[in-house]
């Protein structure tokens, strides 16, 4: 079995930012109400000329440039998204825009756990020697599936894309030290984006369902309780299984859903605030994009350096959650 090397990152965010104050012009809310409950002060929203494919492609292109890779050297593009431009898959369009003609490309849907699940999935192809290089992209455009008149959900979500380039290496240089994944479909209704229930008659006595989806629906209290219970538990299990003490971690990189969740998980692990990576205030919850965007910004800022040990966790709809422990080996800015 081969090892996994983390080589480079990329990110792409829409140019349009909507502050809490601006959002309060549409719904009955305020900057204080949103910040005190979530830690969010603004979110990015895709403009008319931007969509999931363009954002994902831009993030992937930057990761390839920083890795110094020819796009044709890629074997795999794995796009984690729950909001594709095409229900048949957006990854092949990303492959075409990148010019990665030798890569197989497909989507993986696991909502806010998507990037972590995609990273773990892609690493298995590399470990076996079946593939040598992979580009893992997390991207979502949830602004098109939000009810902008529902202040309980519309304040939370934003659009964006992040990417990480990984390649196979010798087992002695392995950067992916362990992982855990879990799902509990019994709680799926706590966070969902369901199909519409309307139907159309085809011929007398026979009807078919109309395509389309309802806005995002969430039981915020239940999702919060789930996250603060399961995320510390899966991280503690992972650290124990790898013989890693929490104090040995350089960084805690969680899905950016709610600042209170980030704080609660860090407290359970006994980690200081200085070791918790967070950009939630500026972007809101960008679903599958949060972890790779945060990683990219931390690398660019010189916070994450080669050799740093990172514990990461994704969690969300499904309900699904997981954790990974990796050592960063990519370039510095």
List residues with catalytic annotation.
112, 255, 285
Nearest alpha carbon to residue 80 among 316, 333, 328, 329: 316
Judge residue 77's burial from the number of C-beta atoms within 10 Å of its C-beta, 0-12 exposed, 13-18 middle, 19 or more buried.
buried
Under DSSP, the state recorded for 157 is B
Tokens found for residue 200: 């159309």
Continuous H helices in the chain: 20-23, 31-38, 52-67, 91-98, 114-127, 151-154, 220-241, 259-269, 280-283, 290-300
Please state, in angstroms and rounded to a whole number, the distance separating the CA atoms of residues 215 and 231. 26
Query: Residue-wise over 208-237: b if at least 16 C-beta within 10 A, else e?
Result: eeeeeeebbebeeeebbebbbebbbbbbee
Please state, in angstroms and rounded to a whole number, the distance separating the CA atoms of residues 60 and 75. 14
Nearest alpha carbon to residue 181 among 323, 13, 67: 323
Residue 284 in 3-state DSSP? coil
Nearest alpha carbon to residue 322 among 136, 144, 180: 180
Question: What are residue 176's phi and psi, to 5 degrees?
Answer: -95, 100
Under DSSP, the state recorded for 213 is B
Residue 224 CB partners (closer than 8 Å, separation 6+): 258, 260, 261
Q: Are 320 and 231 in contact (CB under 8 A)?
A: no
Under DSSP, the state recorded for 196 is P
């Amino acid at each position: 079995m081969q090892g996994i090397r983390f080589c480079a990152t990329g990110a792409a965010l829409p140019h349009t930012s909507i502050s809490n104050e601006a959002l309060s012009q549409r719904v009955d809310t305020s900057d204080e109400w949103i910040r005190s409950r979530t830690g969010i002060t603004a979110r990015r929203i895709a403009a008319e000329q931007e969509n999931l494919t363009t954002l994902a492609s831009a993030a992937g292109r930057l990761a390839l440039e920083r890795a110094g890779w020819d796009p044709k050297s890629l074997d795999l593009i794995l796009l984690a998204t729950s909001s594709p431009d095409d229900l048949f898959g957006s990854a092949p369009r990303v492959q075409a825009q990148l010019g990665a003609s030798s890569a197989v490309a497909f989507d993986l849907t696991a909502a806010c756990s998507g990037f972590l699940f995609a990273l773990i999935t892609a690493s298995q192809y590399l470990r076996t020697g079946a593939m040598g290089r992979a580009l893992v992209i997390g991207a979502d455009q949830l602004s098109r599936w939000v009810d902008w008149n529902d202040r309980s959900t519309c304040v939370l979500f934003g659009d964006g894309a992040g990417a990480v380039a990984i390649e196979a290496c010798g087992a002695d240089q392995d950067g992916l030290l362990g992982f855990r994944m879990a799902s509990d479909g019994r709680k799926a209704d706590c966070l969902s984006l369901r199909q519409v229930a309307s139907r159309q008659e085809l011929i007398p006595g026979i009807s078919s369902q109309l395509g389309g989806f309802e806005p995002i629906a969430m039981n915020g209290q239940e999702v919060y309780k789930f996250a603060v219970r399961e995320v510390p538990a899966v991280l503690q299990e992972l650290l124990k299984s790898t013989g890693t003490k929490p104090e040995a971690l350089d960084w805690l990189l969680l899905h950016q859903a709610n600042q209170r969740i980030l704080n609660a998980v860090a407290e359970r692990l006994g980690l200081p605030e200085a070791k918790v990576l967070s950009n939630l205030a500026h972007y809101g919850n960008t679903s599958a994009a949060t972890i790779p965007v945060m990683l990219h910004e931390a690398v660019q800022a010189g916070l994450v350096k080669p050799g740093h040990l990172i514990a990461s966790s994704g969690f969300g709809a499904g309900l699904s959650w997981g954790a990974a422990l990796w050592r960063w080996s990519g370039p510095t800015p």
